[in-house]
Structure 1
Amino acid sequence: MSFAAEVKAELAGLTSARACCQLHELRGAFHSVNGDIDTAGRLARFPLLRNLLARRVVRLTRALGAAESRFQHHRTPHQTLYDVEAQLPTALVASLVALPGVPERACDRKALLRGFFLGCGSINAPSARYHLEFVPPSVAWAEAVQATLAELSVRSGVSTRGAQPLVYVKDGNGIVRTLSLLGASRSVMEFESLRIVREVRGLVNRKLNFETANLGKTVGSAVRQLAAIEQLERGGRLGGLPPALRDVARLRRGNPEAALAELAARLRVSKSAVNHRLRRLELEAAGASPSEPHS
């Protein structure tokens, strides 16, 4: 089961005690799946729902006083989808078809988002990348979902995928807050656990890359320095160099893999002094005239 499916399974099992929350969750689900309604007959249709959402819609409509709720199934090669039809009370019909907007109460905002997420939401496991999205049926509803998130202190963006509007949250903290607002506490803990593993793995990889790069630089420098020392010795010029350069040349030849800090500690000088002397050796081997007098 994907992480998104786990989140939806948790949300579908929640119980909304207040009628206002039940209404706004049902409203979010209704519009997220492009539901339609016969206002004269008070018959609401929720097309092509997955099993979890179909059962959730049936429970919500019955809790809100639906005279009858029934569903039909459609089999596809990969899953079974359901059409839910519910005979609604007259007062509920008007609320269900109300224009897109942000509910006044915080609990109703959370319930509306929960309905939308169950119907048209998705989330990636944090081991891949941070991404939570809603795919509302219209630009007006995309703006309403984004405004609802903003009222709940979650920063989101609006984009399009083809001609379909899209509301997305891409930062880890924003996704954690959104899951908490939806009521998916178990999924929050799993998300945080996976996020910690990802961040630790990233930190280790960055450190390894940094150390590998430094090691590569150290090895490359040592190879050049040893080649310069060999060239000076073959040309009989090494013995004529100042004692400081002969000492660092002897130490480098005996410790080809040592870092500058180790060489500096053995010579009891600074790293910059060791680096300067080794560069002088390379210049001498290349036949260049050092810019400073020998030391």
Structure 2
Amino acid sequence: MAEKNFFEPKKSLNIKGRLIDLSSPKVMGILNITPDSFYDNSRTKSIDEALIKAARFLNEGATFIDIGGYSSRPGAKDISINEEIDRVVPVVESLVKTFPEAVISIDTFRSKVAQETISSGAHIINDIAAGDMDEQMFETVAKLQVPYMMMHMQGTPQNMHQNPVYTNVLLEVIDYLAKKVAALKALHIHDIIIDPGFGFGKTTEHNYELLRQMEAFKIFKLPILVGFSRKGMIYKTLGTTAAEALNGTSVLNTIALQKGAGILRVHDVKEAVECVRLVERLG
């Protein structure tokens, strides 16, 4: 039995003793507590607005609500740790109080923000830098014993769009994630979700090459999160805008589900849930 479990993909997350079943793909709704996120309609300006959006996400079928107080769009403005905490902690506290069954992830690369938000009732850390922008992050996650989502990114949000270069993008991303997974497991962090990092330090060509070969990430036997929602790889290819990229988002989400994605991180929950239901209907 132990050998069987070792080779089988991980199918659940432990959320403070509650198991979240990942044998069926899940949807994560994006709740940006920022004034400068790339998609205007995702910007949330007050706690009341955050509660309204969260209620809609949950009603539409989201399993996770991902709260971020630091915009990671290309060329984003850097803000202080305290400003990030001031943005997200009151929202976390309000969501926990209003929706006690909701599973809340925190989109941050800073260990202090992770510590403060988990202490305020959040459940998961979603780190776009996989520990590279805060050397205390892995030890903090190990101490907190919460699920950890980690993403590949070449560079930082401030410079990742400036001529990203790879010899072989797939192999380099897999190698990077493999080293991170090994380091996390050495710290006894077992609830790990990997994210190839579509749109982060990658050209449109790099993004589509990763999607084309996305089955390769199954080698990790870990849940795979993807985030295409309204990104440039869609609207630049189609010659439109982020506001017009919902249909393209659904197309790429559908392809990713067929290639093994376990979590869709999206601005539009209803449409993503429909993608999951239709792909699952194929059996």
TM over 0.5, yes or no? no
Shorter chain as denominator, the TM-score bin is under 0.3
Structure whose CA Rg is larger: 1
Higher relative contact order (CA 8 A, sep 6+): 2
Task: Give me the TM-score of the superposition, normalised by structure 1.
Answer: 0.23
Q: Given the two structures, how large is their TM-score scaled by the length of structure 2? A: 0.24
The answer to which structure has the higher helix fraction is 1
